[in-house]
Amino acid sequence: MEYQEKHLAENIRNDMGMNEEELQEMREADVDDETLHALSLAGRVEWKKRILYYANLLNSQMKKILDNELALGNRISDAHCDYPEQGSIHVTLAEKFKGNYKEQNVKYTKGNDPHYWFEDYTSLNQPRHMILH
């Protein structure tokens, strides 16, 4: 498979939340690239909706941090729920934090572990919410 085709396949797979095996099954079922691309775009819309939904569930202190980061040009790369505990929200930023924040009931940690994340702001209230980079 050529690099460009492989790159397209990886983007489609990532956008749709598919694993390599599922993507291969679709290709073997003669699903053409145009259809895969359309499905990919639909997947991106759902992905963006999910991110916005989770970001809106952050508490007010964490929303202030996130809003400021977005205003400074940072971007959200992903968001999920139920980590580190049930009901928690964690939002991952694309770049390092551009600001330095001292919000009440929020702790800053510099972890610097490339396998997980480099730094985070975590709310001290339950459920804990996190903004990561």
CB neighbour burial string for 1-34, b if at least 16 within 10 angstroms, e if fewer: eeeeeeebbeebbebbebeeeebeebeeeeeeee
Q: What CA–CA distance (Å, rounded) separates 90 from 58?
A: 8
Q: In this structure, are residues 96 and 133 in contact, taking their beta carbons and an 8 Å threshold?
A: yes
Helices (H), the chain: 3-16, 20-28, 33-56, 60-71
Using pLDDT thresholds of 50, 70 and 90, give the confidence band for residue 84: confident
CA 118 to chain centre: 15
**pTM of the predicted model, to two decimals?**
0.69
23-45 pLDDT, tens digit per residue, is 566 566 666 666 666 666 666 77
CA-CA-CA-CA dihedral for 36, 50, 100, 113, to nearest 10: -60
Domain ranges of the chain: 3-53, 59-132
Using pLDDT thresholds of 50, 70 and 90, give the confidence band for residue 102: very high
